[in-house]
Amino acid sequence: MAGAGTWAGPWTAGPVGLPGALVCVRTVMDSNHHSNYKLTKTEKKFLRKQIKARHTLLRHEGVETVSYATQSLVVANGGLGNGVGRSQLLPALEKCGLVDSLLMPPNKPYSFVRYKTAEEARKAYVTLNGKEIVGDLGQKIILYLNFVEKAQWKELGLQALPPGLMVVEEIISSEDEKMLLESVNWAEDIDDQNVQKSLKHRRVKHFGYEFHYENNNVDKDKPLPGGLPDIWDSILEKWLKEGFIKHKPDQLTVNQYEPGHGIPAHIDTHSAFEDEIVSLSLGSEIVMDFKHPDGVTVPVMLPRRSLLVMTGESRYLWTHGITPRKFDTVQASKGHKGGIITSDVGDLTLSKRGIRTSFTFRKVRQTPCNCSYPLVCDSQTKQTSPSLPGSAREASQLEREHVHRVYEEIAGHFSSTRHTPWPRVVDFLKALPSGSLVADVGCGNGKYLGINQDLYMIGCDRSRSLADICGERRFQALVGDALAVPLRSGSCDACLSIAVIHHLATAERRVAALRELVRLLRPGGTALIYVWAMEQEYNKKKSKYLRENRVSQGKEQETDSDAAAVPVSLGGQVPDVGDQDAPCCVPAIPDCPGEGGNTSDVTDARLPVHTNRTSFHAQDLLVPWHHKGSPGKDKPVGAAGSAPGAVFHRYYHVFREGELEAACQTLSGVHLLQSYYDQGNWCVVLQKV
Amino acid sequence: SINPMEFNPDFLACMIPEVEWALLLEAADTLHLVEVPKGLTEGYEHNEKFLREMHQVLLEVEVLEGTLKCSESRGLFPISWGIPNMPLSDEE
């Protein structure tokens, strides 16, 4: 450390380029350390941690800190995401001055505080930096503070309850609650046909019909003796009379959740139960997450003694689940009222969970389901639901249905969400010599065709509509298949294959596509290949695809590997899409196979339908695309003029680490020049020998 | 149609050696283009007239509606709005 010397002033950088923050701390500490300018070990350690916090905030969250005093601070390590509640943090902050606002974004390990004056903020910075506080579970937490220009968190769009959802509060009195909870006999009984099993996460009991978790259905031919317990007769009659329910249920499932228990996101099997599903929460409140296939998540507070009514879309299309955790993020001002939890981070706090017992009443269906949500309906997709192809013919058919046809229909909308070129692809193109002939196989809307004016680029895409868009943009493009590119062998100086090969349904076809690229190259030519990775979290960092779980309505969405909309950032790239939604982490709901939910049968070769913006659980799957229609375009959107609101399933084979490399290694006459991971994609650069 | 494009002689200089002249001339003939050089001449890089003619035929002339004929398979591939349509057929 630079030795004794002069500090020019409070805000200049130190001799080794240490941030101004150091100087600020030193200025205060100076008075206690007379003329000793050497930092102690603890001071150095603290400093390292503070700098690390600052870097993490910038790199991972886009939070830019400044080295001069402002009214606002970011409190790293003091957030709802790492177990610090409002009631723990606020008093500590208020000791330093008048707090204008405290913003605690849900699931984040940091918060923002704004003081009335910069002076008070500075006091907080000095006093609280490195200070130890106690978290929600009694754990010791050290806070690191840094100044920020503005304490703000982009507000999410106004949320609405999923259609068909209703929360009826205080539907049961406290006395009745006690009585009903006591009526459940959890004691193990071998003869008890009400089959009480202890699932990994919770205790369960069934009445009326037994629910089988292996196939998420009931056995309609084997009703349980005794039906529903008598104690519920009068209550159900009352609910019917008062209009809270429309049908008398004949199946009851009782679930007991202790703090830390949850249930994976699922849709109750369409063919098993009628439309109306109601659930009574006793003993404790809970937050239940409803998720739309789009990726939109709505957290809903279910207060104690409330009845949750799910009908229509909320029953058939949205999944519901409970995150296994001990605390829920709830609305501070609304206390225990039912309904959506606000996204206003100035009004969030933590609520410790208690033991909650849910009583879910359903009416068993006797006929196949005929709802309006066929894509998620087991009755309606049984015949048509695609499975992994066993032959080239089947593969070709799958690709035709779930790749080519889809892109034809969604071309306009798709193109409008594909405008940000991936930086490393741009680098590759810009490094090519002037006058190079480059083929972009699977060029889509021509995103890369105009990047480098010194190249002669030809785009090739299977979709007529997308190739047309390239033409409109005055690019050279043709309609062709990646397995048989209509260009001369050895004619290209370079090739691109960005987010294409993962649409081919067998390993053979994927390798064949790679071979085509090599065929096109002249000796010494290079090809850049990007495919969607199964591993969406790499080196502990989540890809943009996972991070951007925008709770938006009606906004543009980039829902696959090409997504490049940037999260809220004070110093990073300019957000491309132009919408103001902030990223928020989806609380991870661990996969618990066989425990209720819509997980597909392991023995079933049917392709699972993926939930957007979550981790991949299978390599071959169907990824939904919610068609929104193309804003501002005159031409009809699809060949068939498909309606906005339709859901399309695109087939993908996501690659595991090393898989793309291995495929390349089966090719002869190529060198593998580079292999890397880029924002949720596995990437290689090949060179023809 | 002929779409004006920015004249970039350096770029052209890279492209020109790659040209398959026989095919180029045949295509130009089909399109009834005049002013198409018949081949490379000595010092073509500095021949402004040559370069400009090449610029036009390579980069500016565009077939909007037409047909591409494969000399081997005799397959016909339509061109529409400047985009040739050459997907794999079902039998392939």
User: Residue by residue, what is the 3-state secondary structure of A245-314?
Assistant: CCCCCCEEEEEEECCCCCEEEECCCCCCEEEEEEEEEECCCEEEEEECCCCCEEEEEECCCEEEEECHHH
Interface membership of B86 toward A (CB under 8 Å): yes
As a whole number of angstroms, the distance between CA A173 and CA A179 comes to 10
pLDDT at A101 over 50: yes
B83 and A486 within 8 Å at the Cβ level: the answer is no
Interface membership of B64 toward A (CB under 8 Å): no
> What is the number of alpha carbons within 13 Å of residue A428 lying toward its C-beta?
28
pLDDT at A169 over 80: yes
Residues of A with CB under 8 A from a CB of B: 433-437, 454, 456, 462, 464, 467-468, 470-471, 474, 477-481, 483-484, 486, 491
Are A480 and A506 within 8 A, CB to CB?
no
**pLDDT of B12:** 75
As a whole number of angstroms, the distance between CA B52 and CA B67 comes to 26
Band the pLDDT of A468: cuts 50, 70, 90.
Answer: confident
Over range A543-550, report the average pLDDT.
Answer: 69
B85 and A483 within 8 Å at the Cβ level: the answer is no
- Tell me which chain B residues have a C-beta less than 8 angstroms from the C-beta of A491: 18
Band the pLDDT of A641: cuts 50, 70, 90.
Answer: very low
The highest-confidence range among A549-563, A634-648, B9-23, by mean pLDDT, is B9-23
- Tell me which chain A residues have a C-beta less than 8 angstroms from the C-beta of B83: 464, 467-468, 470-471, 477-479
Per-residue CA distances from A354 to A150, A264, A281, A328, B90 (Å): 37, 19, 11, 11, 61
- Which residue, among A514, A544, A541, A560, has the nearest Cα to A666 in the 3D structure? A514
**pLDDT of A552:** 35
pLDDT at A566 over 60: no
Band the pLDDT of A509: cuts 50, 70, 90.
Answer: very high
Nearest CA in chain B to A396: B90
Whole-structure pTM value: 0.49
A479 and B11 within 8 Å at the Cβ level: the answer is no
Are A259 and A352 within 8 A, CB to CB?
yes
- Per DSSP bridges, beta strands A319-322 and A286-291 are antiparallel
pLDDT at A121 over 60: yes
Which range among A110-119, A395-404, A550-559 shows the weakest confidence by mean pLDDT?
Answer: A550-559
- Encoded tokens for A29: 């500490």
pLDDT, mean over chain A: 78
pLDDT at B70 over 80: no
Interface membership of B91 toward A (CB under 8 Å): no
Question: For A462, which of B8, B11, B87 is closest by C-beta distance?
Answer: B87
Over range A505-524, report the average pLDDT.
Answer: 95
Band the pLDDT of A383: cuts 50, 70, 90.
Answer: low
Residue A14: which residues within 8 A CB-CB, separation 6 or more? A2, A7, A22, A23, A26
- For residues A137 and A433, which has the higher predicted lDDT (pLDDT)? A433
- For residues A335 and A259, which has the higher predicted lDDT (pLDDT)? A259
Rounded to 5 degrees, φ, ψ at A353 are -80, 150
Nearest CA in chain A to B86: A480
As a whole number of angstroms, the distance between CA A369 and CA A103 comes to 46
Tell me how close the Cα of B81 comes to any Cα of chain A, in angstroms: 7
A435 and B14 within 8 Å at the Cβ level: the answer is yes
Token match 């002037």: residue?
A434
Over range A57-77, report the average pLDDT.
Answer: 81
- Encoded tokens for A219: 């056995």
Over range A527-541, report the average pLDDT.
Answer: 89
Report which DSSP code applies to A341.
P
Per-domain residue ranges for chain B?
A: 1-61, 64-91
- Tell me which chain A residues have a C-beta less than 8 angstroms from the C-beta of B81: 468, 471
Question: For A467, which of B11, B18, B83 is closest by C-beta distance?
Answer: B83
Rounded to 5 degrees, φ, ψ at A345 are -75, 0
Are A23 and A40 within 8 A, CB to CB?
no
**pLDDT of A572:** 26
| Dihedral in degrees, nearest 10, Cα atoms A610, A611, A614, A618 | -20
A456 and B15 within 8 Å at the Cβ level: the answer is yes
B87 and A480 within 8 Å at the Cβ level: the answer is yes
Residue B51: which residues within 8 A CB-CB, separation 6 or more? B7, B9, B12, B13, B44, B45
Burial class (CB in 10 A: 0-12, 13-18, 19+), A480: buried
pLDDT at A157 over 70: no
Helix H or strand E encompassing A531: strand A521-532
